[in-house]
Every structure is written in C-alpha cells, then in structure tokens.
Amino acid sequence: MQTDERNPDEFARLSDPFRRELLAYCYRMLGSVHDAEDLVQEVYLRAWRSYAGFDGRASLRTWLYRIATNACLNALEHSSRRVLPSGLGAPSDDVPPVGSRAPEVTWLEPFSDRLIGRAPDDPAAVVAARAGLRLALIAALQYLPGRQRAVVILRDVLAWPAAEVAELLGMTGTGVNSTLLRARARLERLVPASDEITEPDEPEMRELLDRFAKAFEAVDVPAITRLLTEQAAWEMPPVPQWFSGRDSIGRLLTERLSSGPGGNRLVPTRANGQPAFGMYLRGEDGLLRAHSIQVLTVSRAGIVHISSFIDQALFASFGLPLTYE
C-alpha cells in the first residue's frame, strides 16, 4: 500500500478497529490505564505522521503493534515498576490509620472491562481474553524486563507466531523462544496456579457476589469473612500494608467499616476480566462519594483476593459517577 499523501479518512478507517486492543496491550506492558491511554494517543500520532511511507510489507495491525511496542519499551526505560502492596513485603497485622499513603511508590491500576469493547462470541475466546488481563498476571508482568514482557504478551496472551514476534522485535526465532522460556519460568513463581483461580459457574458467582455486597453494605464483618478463603488477601493501594487470612482481614474491616448500615454502597462492575465493585462512602452531608474500585479474585472455594484501589480518578473509566444521593 503506497500512498503519496496522507489520507485522514483512510487512515482512521483502517486503524481505528485496533485502538481498543492496542490500549489493552499497552496496559499490560505499563500497568497503568492512564499511561496506556496517553501512549496510544502518541502511537496513533506517530502512525499518522508515518502513514504516507507505510508500504504494506507487514499488515497495518503488525505495523501499529511495532510502533506501540517501541513506545512502551521507551516509556519503561524512564519509569518505575508498578506494584501492588502484596509485592512490597509480608502481610501486616496492624491496621494503618486512615489516610496512610506511600507516595514514593508507583502503583498498579485496574483496567475497566468496558474499555475492551464487545466480548468475543466464542466462549473459549472470552475465557482467554479474561485470563490475559487478570490482575495477578498484570502485576507479575511488571517484574519482567520490558522485552520479556512484550514477548510473553505477544506469544502467550495474543498467540502471535514466533516468527512474527521475532520480526516485530528485531530478534531471531531462537531468541524469541529463549526469552519466552525465561519469562514463563519467572511468571510461574509469581502467578497463582490456574486451579486456584478457577471461577465458579455463573449462577454461583452471582450468588456469591450478591452475598458479599449485602454483607459489606450491612457492615456484617463475620458474614464477609465467611465468604473468604482461609488464606485470602486484602490490599488497598496506595496504602502500603496488606492483610492475609480471615482473622487479619476481619480486624481490618471491623476497624475500617465503622459506620452502620447505609454508610456505604457497592456498585457492580468488572475489571481485568474479573468481578469488581465501585465502593461509595456516605459523607456527613448524606451523599455517597466515590471511594475505591474493588477487584475480586474468586475461586470455587470463595473469594481469594480483593484489591481495593482507593482512587476517585479511576471511576471515570468504569463509567461510574463520583456521587450518589
């Protein structure tokens, strides 16, 4: 495809279908929705400026991914690794005071499922798409060097052929395979085994989430902890402490959920292919105000992990309001 001049209508028509998947790709690489959105804008600007020279030897999709990968690798050279509290050290038994922060830490962010667009029609493709965005995987990817991240995402998550990945990254096929093996070995030590995060069937999932929301809104801590697995974890970035086990989490909730019934509300949503809630706290004026996005990892044994991201700025990407009457 050789063009002598830029055609904005043609470029938009051909490139726009890849925008959502490029956003998800950049998020996997960077661990931040906001950084990924900014970078995708930069990718499209670069692609537009270079479009007149695009000769079609690679597909437009591959060409855009090459630009995005180079932009991500460059961004990673100048940024800190994004983490969750559970990646900083051992769990805590001491409930931190309200307002605790670790401003020097760059935190991982959740990814709203609504940013992905319509789910695939194939149920197997839906499962694969969710697995490729799971919060535990995104957190683990942040511990890999940038090029290893790109290889494992392109090969294992997006299922690109090794030869195509090698061409995109300027590597040999042997280099791609050896890089992938090193990345997989490290991820196996960081990501929970698949049988630990096998979700219950849809009716059981809905019932569990409904029971959790009702118990949380009623500030029924014993009911909440009964829904957790014995080794469940609860973390609240940007609070650096995190908690493990029913007893420890129960003490945290008893102290933190001090208001009576009606003092908070959970609004269902989805993040990282997982069930999630937007949590609201009632202020002295009676308004429910955005507090955090709770992302739940659920297994057949119960709730395994809750990451409660305390950041009002996240609510916009989930299409959630900042206040409720």
ω before 17 within 30° of 0 (cis)? no
The class level of CATH for 81-142+192-325 reads alpha beta
pLDDT tens sequence across 231-245: 999 999 999 999 999
Which DSSP state fits 2? -
pLDDT confidence of residue 3 = 42
Nearest to 264 by CA among 238, 240, 291: 291
Considering 4-18, 120-134, 215-229, the range whose residues carry the highest mean pLDDT is 215-229
pLDDT, one tens digit per residue, over 87-132 is 999 999 888 877 778 878 999 999 999 998 765 555 555 555 667 8
Average pLDDT, the chain: 90
pLDDT at residue 1 in the model: 42
Residue 152 in this model has a pLDDT that exceeds 90: yes
Q: How far is CA 159 from the centre of its chain?
A: 19
C-alpha 62/C-alpha 164 separation (Å) is 8
In the chain, the DSSP E strands lie at: 228-236, 239-244, 264-271, 274-282, 288-299, 302-309, 323-324
Confidence of residue 195 (pLDDT cuts 50, 70, 90): very low
Q: Is the pLDDT of residue 313 over 50?
A: yes
**pLDDT at residue 50, as a whole number:** 87
Is the predicted pLDDT of residue 167 greater than 90, yes or no?
Answer: yes
Q: What is the mean pLDDT of residues 273-301?
A: 94
b/e per residue 247-265 (b: at least 16 CB within 10 A): ebbbbbbeeebeeeeebbb
Q: How confident is the model at residue 2 (pLDDT cuts 50, 70, 90)?
A: very low
- Phi and psi at residue 267, to the nearest 5°: -110, 120
* pLDDT at site 193: 57
Look at domain 1-79 and name its CATH class.
Answer: mainly alpha
All structural domains of the chain with their residue ranges: 1-79, 81-142+192-325
Range of lowest pLDDT (28-37, 196-205, 208-217, 302-311): 196-205
Residue 273: band (very low, low, confident or very high) from pLDDT cuts 50, 70, 90: very high
Confidence label for 189 from pLDDT (cuts 50, 70 and 90): confident
Q: What is the mean pLDDT of residues 169-181?
A: 95
| Whether pLDDT at 54 is above 90 | no
In this predicted structure, what is the pLDDT of residue 145? Answer: 95
Query: In sequence order, what are the beta bridge partners of 294?
Result: 277, 308
Residue 235 gets which letter from DSSP?
Answer: E
The reply to whether the predicted model has a pTM over 0.95 is no
